[in-house]
Amino acid sequence: MIDIPSLGGASTGVSGLNIKGQVIGTSSLTGETVRHPFIWQGGVLTDIGTFGGDNGSASWLNDAGQVVGGADLEGSQTHHAFLWEKGVLKDLGTVGTDPCSRADSINSRGQVVGESASVCGTSNSAAFLLENGGPMIDLNSFVSPDSGIRLNDAAFINERGEIAVEGSLSGDAHAFVLVPDGDCDDDCERRITANQINVTPIQNPVTTKSGIYSPVNRGIQLRNRLMNRYHAVGQQQAPSD
């Protein structure tokens, strides 16, 4: 049995373990007022850090050692989803103009899912998927507006790209699974465009290398659109044009 140390505080918690024996979690710092995400391997504990704010948490890691979670921004009560890899912390931004987001899961292909909130700290959130460098896509773009379905939090993504989502159906809490289902039709593409506003994520000046995250222009974003399109299992899709 190995006791994983803290980042200076009295308490730690774990949230993931991969095939390499890398462990992720959250630890309090000296004084017990703030908590940071960490990664531990072979006796070495690394503080993943934040985007200049007080608190952060690590949610998941894949077997390549890529870690996702959420971290506070400097001088505000907002937090953004992050991707940490080999000592570099990337801000993944939010959906549209949302102030807050959190990444919950990442698979071996580097596809990241989580939730983006229009009001921080509330359930008024949208499930997202991010891959190939972005942009962050609101998964509600793939749901027909008249379905009564709202996808709030994408909790897990597996190696096939299937996504487990918490949401609601006509106001009642429901669980959903989204599966890859070929290309989006024109109406779906229009909903994606309507839901996506290109917002440049901030960078952590301490842990982010210069140039590691550079926003791409709109044309490249559209070409990098999701390779797999999704729909809620059991939901009738509109026919393609």
> What is the per-residue burial (b if ≥16 Cβ within 10 Å, else e) of 227-237?
ebbbbbeeeeb
| Nearest-angstrom CA–CA distance, 73 and 80 | 7
Please tell me the predicted confidence (pLDDT) of residue 211: 25
pTM across the whole model:
0.78
Q: Is the pLDDT of residue 221 over 70?
A: no
Please tell me the predicted confidence (pLDDT) of residue 181: 79
Q: Does domain 8-232 sit in CATH 2.120.10?
A: yes
Instruction: Indicate the DSSP class of residue 4.
Output: -
Neighbours of 41 (CB within 10 A): 14
Confirm if 176 and 149 have CB atoms less than 8 A apart.
Answer: yes
What is the domain partition of the chain in residue ranges? 8-232
Instruction: Indicate the DSSP class of residue 51.
Output: B
* Cα–Cα separations (whole angstroms), residue 180 to 132, 160, 208, 233: 16, 8, 32, 10
